Chains A and B, each alone.
Chain A
Amino acid sequence: MMTLARKELRSMRPFLTLAVFIPVVGILYELLTGLPHMRPVASTVGEYAASGWESSILVFVVFFSLASGLLVREYDEGTIEFLDALPVSRVRIFFTKFLLALSVPFVLIVLDISTVVLLQAMSHNSLHDTFHWGFLATALMLRMCQALTVLCLGLALSFFRRFGWLVVGLLFWAYLLLQESLPAIRVLNLFAITAPKYDGLAWIVPWRQVWLQLALSSGLLTVACALFLGAGDRLLRSYHRLTNSLPGRAALWIGGASLFVVAAALGYQMIERYEEEEEGVEVPGTDIRIVYPSWSTSRATTQHYEFLYPNNLEGRSRQVITGADEVHERVREFLDAEPFTRIVVDMTGVSAQHAGRAHWEKVRIDLTTSGDADVLRAVLGHETAHVYLDRMSDSRLLDVFDSTRFFHEGVASYVEYRLLRPAEDIQALWSVAAVMRARKQVDFDELVNNERLSARLDTDLVYPLGEVFVEAMVEVYGPESVGRTTHAMARDDAPRGLSGQELWRDVFQACDYNLETVIDRFFAKLDEQVAEHHDFIQALPRVRGIVNIEHGLITVRADWQTLEGWQPVCRFRQAEDTPARQYIWGDDWDGEFLCHESSFPDGVCWYQLGLSDGKGRVIYEPWNKVPVPTWE
């Protein structure tokens, strides 16, 4: 038995070396590149104890690779015969291999956590005076749980040989697909389990996820064990018998073709169903669903655009098409850009999220969002501005979208409201910015970090705040500054890898502008808007949420002083980084918003209350979170 263990350890040496090497490099990095006595546990757990997406993927690749070769190598190299000759059962061999394989993640995780402990020992002070042993133990347990699932998955799929990776690919995309419509599927997310969620100073253990993944691991382990014990041999022999006879080959062909036909039919069905659903768009916060039947499409070409539109909305489409070139010219002149060949405008679809969307040289506009041709033309101008910004910046703005989104949307909104809409329309947009400023919610660092803004407040704030920023920029450096800064993004000698304020400082500096001056003007303009909308800000109540969790339902009651024309809205999300399209809109029951507890298997539910005027203006409170019981 010991000999077997030694032999296995020898074969696992490269992985064990890696498991030691990675944390040791981490420790060396800490010691050689920074002050190790300024790294208390609060600042290191995110890097070493918990495991974010990137490190989870690395962990997945390493452990899956380890598991892929653990059992089948014996078959592939013919050494299984030698093992069979030993006075040890295959079950014992299997579990010896499995347990020793677990030592690889164990070593890696323990060393990672030791890094945290070492740095805390060096950084110990009167505020950071504890090692948070409970937190670290939870980290160890959850990361081991993750590693166990990955190992078991790898072992079970290892008999597919290299096809195992393809199967993993399929599982991954199937998960992403299901996540779009079935939030509860997150319970199977291998990576979410190691992202810490806090209950005070403790890490909330997502027991539902843990048990389910452990159950899954047991199942996978059983499959792997069965295959290793002989089912694999038998399958292989059956397969060879099948391929050696004509009827067998025919059966395989027919079986394969049938599978393909079934998959294709299923796919077709799903697309059909999706298309049917696509015809209807739910208006957030209401029971209204806009539905119109599918119609054939027509095309129209102008000097600068190529339009696709549904025949049933021809009248509305025509109104957009008439005057489209004028819109284009106004946008182009403002941005001081060279014209280029036609932009494709697809007006055949409807969208639950956006009135319009730009993709490089193509724009999609949802004609159902408004019956007013001026509004639709303004949307066209907004999207055209996006197309030009991407083109002028050689898509650099897109490369660092997290840092540039406010500018992208700010310029497009400026174009939309200043060039294409009546002057009074902008007041609604500015009022949102003014409320946020009055509530001390505007932070420029956050504005240039879309991820942070979305995590804390509202991703759509980039429209009003971005617009005010562009106003400030135009006021300080003139309208040409928008084009100049956009071009500066694409300059050949621009340093790479910058983000946030660092990026914008570099861009402004390249244009001989001072970013700080524009920021100063930006806040001054916001303060002007606060004064301008003083009455509105005073009248607008704050909304407080009162949360209850009972009978599998999460209820958020909006506590607010009613204001005529305004209604509370509430949305939920699973995590800080959940994309906006996956937010769950709470069903409104007399001012109470409901959501199923099962949608939050991580143990945390994020909710956000806001007030909507029913005309597209929604003013949100910051996101809040509540721990959700996960032990049921």
Chain B
Amino acid sequence: MIAALIIKELRQHWLVMLLLGFLLGVGFLLLLLVVLLTEEGSLLEALRLFLQTFVVLALLVLCHRLVVQEYQGKTQLFLEALPLARWRMVATKFLLGLVLIAAIVSVAFGLLLLAGQRGEVLTGRFVQIVAARVYAYLLCVYAFFFVMGLLGRYRVALYVVGILSVAFLETTLKVELARFGPFALLNEQFAYERNVFPVTALFVTLGLAAMLIATAFGLSLVREGSVATMLAERMSHREKVFVSLLVLGFLVACSVHDEKTEKDPFEMPGSVAKEQSGITVKVTSVGKSGANADQRLAEVVWTELDALRQYLQLSELPPVFIVLRGDLDGDRYERGELDGAEGVLVRANFTSTDWNQQDFLAWLVREVLVVASDERLLWEPRRWVLDGFALFWANRATLQTADGAPRTLVLRAAYGAQLGLKREDLDTWLAYRQRVGDEIASAVAWSGLVWVARTCGEAQCQQFLRAVLRTDIPSDVRGWWYDRRHPWPLLLQQTCDVAPEDFTRLWLAYVAHWQRETADELSGVPRLDGALHFEALSPMTYKAVYSLTADPVPPNGRFQVLHGVLAGLDVELPRSQVACEDLDFTDGPHGELPGTFTWSTRLYWTYAVRSEVLGCDVVSGWRCQEVRP
């Protein structure tokens, strides 16, 4: 009777099986050629790819024919009428499909062993290991599709949930599925492991296969097979809605769940630390500056941050890690990549003779605030306050002195005003920064805060800064809402009782006063202007020709062209990606940049001159320019 059942199956599906065999054969040959062309280390790689791709697709088809169609068409009822136990009928179907697919895979395996003799050492153990992997995997995957076939109307939903679960486990929960059971059997060692059986993976896979087979028989035998018959029926509309909602619910759960990777908090072995009152500062110079010097720096930074926290009433500050980087200039600092919650990693050359602690602290305070606020404080409409605050904080002691503010900052602010400063520049602060340069813009912003402190009182200014530089606002849509509802003019009015119009009018007048006062000194600081144009070397390739106008001529006779290529739709580049050409003005203000530029490349550039009077670079203004003739 079993033979008759097999003949019936073959008669019913012979063409499908033939077609399947043919397609699998073609697929296998394709994979073999890909493996040969890509110079993989073993031809058996083709078998791994074959099992991962075509065999899975073939099983989908095969189980659909053997199981789904039988139950959906209710033809199994005829079979049940035969004098044959139901389990035998299911077992026959199961084994028939398994034997067929195993035969195809065995042919592929055998061919590869034959073909691989020249470049493989085919020991018995090696072949056994590969065979164990292949057939255990095949059994498990086949059993899976067989069970899915018996699940009838729910199988599509379960496929969707299954695929999403795999993606969710891998990406969000960081579960390594590649090291689990059937996936591990087909890992990168598949074609190369010659000695060790993947025992755990084999047991897991076979266990899984056993469970799936038991499930398959359970489904098809329970209540005289009525469960499988019922499942095979099409879904009602209500069921469709219910299952869709279930799948969508699962999708939402997957999307919302965002579990962080659990890892040890960042540490710096060998560093000296100052940890107190919830503020952590760690410094390491690898013995280059000595433990005492490291400790001193840690103390200074800690003191500064503690004062900052009290001044701004911040609930917490991220830990700060300072690392010596001998190859950096003394006035260049770099932020390392750290997850926001982990802290601020800073690279600086604090053993350099150019090291300026106050300058570093101003930079660091700003970075700490940026990290503490999840970068919310970088939002343009209130960015000027952040930029100004870094200098304001570093030079806060001068507020109480009779002779006033640091001269270099006054000069920078006056220079910034000289280049043109309007009320609107506060709203378009990023554009203003590009126009005058970061250091000049920061000094201009600083002058605004100095005016507030001197005119309205330091306590009011502190209230204003506390309100603007809050870091406890949630970093989500509520942060946007808060920022929209609390613009700086409103906060200024509330805390200092100054109307925004009055503030800008009086402040601009204040800076204009500085401008007049420093006119003589500023007359020596060059104002830069210039252009960059492109001359064709070919229709696609151009050279960049610069021409700088500096009034007066740069005192030290040198100037720089800073430039970089913008990617995508970007409008600015981090300083680390900007190339610098250091040039002699006496050689002429015109010349060519090294390299060629292709049509439509977007160049981000400016001229810069070091001003000793201002203690910083002055720029002609950053520009984005497309390479066009």
Contacts and interface: CB of A to CB of B under 8 A. Distances in A.
Contacts of A33: 258, 476
Interface stretch (B210-218, B373-381, B403-411, B515-523): B373-381
B490 to A, nearest CB: 17
B244 A17 contact: yes
B596 A359 contact: no
A546 B595 CA distance: 10
B121 interface: yes
A126 B433 CA distance: 11
Interface residue range, chain B: 35 or more
A169 B27 contact: yes
A398 interface: yes
A173 B64 contact: no
Given A256-B22, A260-B22, A341-B194, A626 B598 contact: yes
B571 A128 contact: yes
A523 B326 CA distance: 8
B264 interface: yes
Contacts of A349: 39, 119
B376 to A, nearest CB: 6
Given A362-B42, A495-B261, A35 B374 contact: yes
A99 interface: no
A495 B191 contact: no
A239 B475 CA distance: 64
Interface string A368-410: 0000000000000000000000000001001100000000000
A521 B284 CA distance: 13
B174 interface: yes
Nearest to B240: A14
Interface in A257-283: 259-260, 263-264, 266-267, 270-271, 274, 278
A629 to B, nearest CB: 10
A19 B24 CA distance: 34
Interface residues of A, number: 122
A376 to B, nearest CB: 18
B275 interface: no
Given A25-B251, A502-B339, A517-B284, A271 B33 contact: yes
A180 B38 contact: yes
B192 A361 contact: yes
B477 A31 contact: yes
B121 A547 contact: no
A25 B22 CA distance: 43
A630 to B, nearest CB: 14
Contacts of B176: 399, 496
A497 B568 contact: no
A130 B335 CA distance: 30
A358 B42 CA distance: 11
Contact of A36 (B29, B378, B428, B477): B477
B64 A162 contact: yes
A471 interface: no
A419 to B, nearest CB: 24
B9 interface: no
A154 interface: no
A177 B30 contact: yes
Contacts of B324: 520
A551 interface: no
A270 B571 contact: no
Contact of A351 (B18, B29, B39, B378): B39
Contact of A544 (B194, B336, B571, B595): B595
Contact of A362 (B41, B175, B599): B41
B205 to A, nearest CB: 18
A354 B31 CA distance: 22
B57 A165 contact: yes
Contact of B174 (A362, A398, A496, A524): A496
Nearest to B571: A127
A32 interface: yes
Interface in B566-603: 567-572, 576, 579, 594-596, 598-600, 602
A346 B119 contact: yes
B483 to A, nearest CB: 7
Contact of B286 (A128, A201, A517): A517
Contacts of A29: 255
Interface in B224-279: 240, 244, 248, 251-252, 255-256, 258, 261-264, 266-271
Given A354-B39, A516-B284, 12 more contacts: A25-B255, A38-B376, A127-B431, A165-B60, A166-B23, A252-B15, A308-B119, A361-B189, A509-B267, A514-B270, A523-B326, A527-B327
Interface of B: 15, 18-27, 29-34, 36-42, 53-54, 57-58, 60-61, 64, 118-121, 171, 174-176, 178, 187-189, 191-195, 240, 244, 248, 251-252, 255-256, 258, 261-264, 266-271, 284, 286, 323-327, 336-337, 339, 345, 347, 374-376, 378-380, 427-432, 434, 475-477, 479-480, 483-484, 537-541, 567-572, 576, 579, 594-596, 598-600, 602, 626
Interface of A: 14, 17, 21, 25, 28-29, 31-38, 41-42, 45-46, 122, 125-128, 132, 135, 162-163, 165-167, 169-170, 173-174, 176-177, 180-181, 196, 198-201, 243, 252-253, 256, 259-260, 263-264, 266-267, 270-271, 274, 278, 297, 299, 306, 308, 340-341, 344, 346, 348-349, 351-354, 357-362, 364, 395, 398-399, 440, 443, 445, 476, 495-498, 500-502, 505-506, 509-510, 512-514, 516-517, 519-521, 523-524, 526-527, 542, 544-549, 557, 559, 581, 624-627
